[in-house]
Amino acid sequence: MRTLLALEDGRYFEGESFGATGTCVGEICFNTAMTGYQEVLTDPSYRGQIVAMTYPLIGNYGINSLDQESRSPHVRGFVIEELTEVPSNWRSEMSLDEYLRDWKIPGAKGIDTRALTRHLRTRGAMKACLTTEQISPEEATQRAIKGEGVIGMDYVCEVSTKKIYRWDPEDKLSAPWSIQKSPDGQDRRALPSTRFRIAAYDYGIKENILRLLRQKGFEVTVVPAATPAQEVLALDPDGIFLSNGPGDPAALGYAHKTVHDLMGKKPIFGICLGHQILGFAFGGSTFKLK
């Protein structure tokens, strides 16, 4: 089935559909990783976006229930050059095509994703429409123009946890893989004892970030994005972690205020969106690269 990818500046690409049929609109971005497409799909930081993979062959090792950054995919659409129809991996549970169909996410294959990436690199971030409907490129372009982008959007409220919880209290999710099994037959290495306690603000945190923090000896308590400063301080953590996440950091005034209220009271470390929020708390601002 024909699929159409139209950018808001009028550039368009034609390809073949896989995954779900239908139409999606969102900001289009690219990812240059050679592996890890499942982690990309389930990364909450991509909420509201259509993602294009520059590596030309995607889907070769399928999908499994372990290599996820969250419990569900967050992309609106997925764009690739070539799809592996029959995955080959001992942990594979389903194909990429089946996975996208199950989650009703449209995909496009046969797209020159490197040409697309060069165009975005030159022209800057923009919205796009991905559709299997039999509409003209001009109509698809108009849908992209009128559609929802990232600027001014708070997607954090859609992906953040709704309650405070401790990550992996039984140490079953964080132990790293070991190539050689231990004498008792275990294929995972033992975790170190916890030395410090941190409170992690969930703006869309990836599970691998939580695993790595635990592997470094931290006991991690995850808190919702809108948790007030005093409530976090009442947990008496040794430090505060600000996670990755989706959307426009300028739209998260509540997070700016909270982090500002925490400044000087506990050590604070931010990554990705959390780092940008930390910048706003210090009076800074952000802008998109061109």
Residue 234: C-alpha distances to residues 1, 110, 163, 225, 279 (Å): 56, 53, 15, 16, 24
- Give 221's strand partners: 166, 199
For the segment 252-274, the average pLDDT, to the nearest whole number, is: 98
d(CA 276, CA 287): 10
Domains defined along the chain, listed by start:
2-149 (3.50.30.20), 157-282 (3.40.50.880)
87 Cβ contact partners less than 8 Å away, ≥ 6 residues apart:
59, 60, 61, 62, 63, 95, 96
249 Cβ contact partners less than 8 Å away, ≥ 6 residues apart:
273, 276, 277, 279, 280, 286
d(CA 10, CA 26): 15
For the segment 106-124, the average pLDDT, to the nearest whole number, is: 97
For the segment 10-32, the average pLDDT, to the nearest whole number, is: 98
Q: What sign results for the dihedral spanned by CA atoms 159, 149, 42, 287?
A: negative
What was the pLDDT predicted at 91? 92
d(CA 45, CA 29): 12
Return the amino acid letter for 36: G
Q: Which of 120, 104, 204 is nearest to 154 (CA)?
A: 204
190 Cβ contact partners less than 8 Å away, ≥ 6 residues apart:
175
For the segment 153-180, the average pLDDT, to the nearest whole number, is: 92
Which stretches of 195-272 are DSSP H helices?
207-215, 229-233, 253-262
Query: Are 128 and 50 within 8 A, CB to CB?
Result: yes
Q: What is the mean pLDDT of the chain?
A: 95
Instruction: State the CB neighbour count (10 A cutoff) for residue 240.
Output: 25
Lowest mean pLDDT among 20-24, 133-137, 180-184, 247-251: 180-184
Share of the chain above pLDDT 90, in %: 91
| Residues in the chain, overall count | 290
Q: Which of 20, 5, 143 is nearest to 79 (CA)?
A: 5
- For 208-227, the pLDDT digits (tens) are 999 999 999 999 999 999 99
Is a pLDDT exceeding 70 seen at residue 181?
Answer: no
Predicted structure pTM score: 0.93
